[in-house]
Amino acid sequence: MRTTSSVIAVTATALLALAACNKAGNPSDTASTPPPPTADQSASGTTSDQVAANTGDQAASSMQASSNYDAAVSKAQSDNRDALARCDTMSGDAAKSCRDQANAALKSAMDQAEAARTTSSPQG
């Protein structure tokens, strides 16, 4: 009895699956026909693929700018630590002047990194 019920259930499921497959359109028709453009896209001439590509390019550019900034900051901080270590071997006015120069170089490098990040980040 149980086997008969299982066979009927499997058969019914298979028939439903085949009925659903029979209603599908031709795959080549649906795959090659793009959706109609929205009003905004029609006015600007931009397709959804172009918008997606631009968004992806902007994200990659933003990530690259952030990565470049992080690398420049890390290098500037490392250079500053090295310079300050050299300054520690000095004494008096020479040590103070050395520290001032090292800190000025760090500030300059940080400003340059920020400027590069700002100019290379996508606007809009």
Contact call for residues 50 and 87 (beta carbons, < 8 A): no
Question: What is the rounded CA–CA span in Å between residue 108 and residue 105?
Answer: 5
**Residue range 4-21: mean pLDDT, rounded:** 64
Model pLDDT for residues 38-82, shown as the tens digit of each residue: 666 656 566 656 655 566 677 777 788 888 899 999 999 999 999
CB 103 within 8 A of CB 80: yes
CA distance 91 to 115: 35
Torsion of CA 60, 62, 66, 71, to 10 degrees: 50
For residue range 92-114, list pLDDT tens digits in order. 999 999 999 999 999 999 999 99
pLDDT at site 23: 55
Where in the chain are the domains?
83-116
What is the model's pTM?
Answer: 0.50
User: Could you tell me if residue 91 is left (phi over 0), alpha (psi between -120 and 50 degrees) or otherwise beta?
Assistant: beta
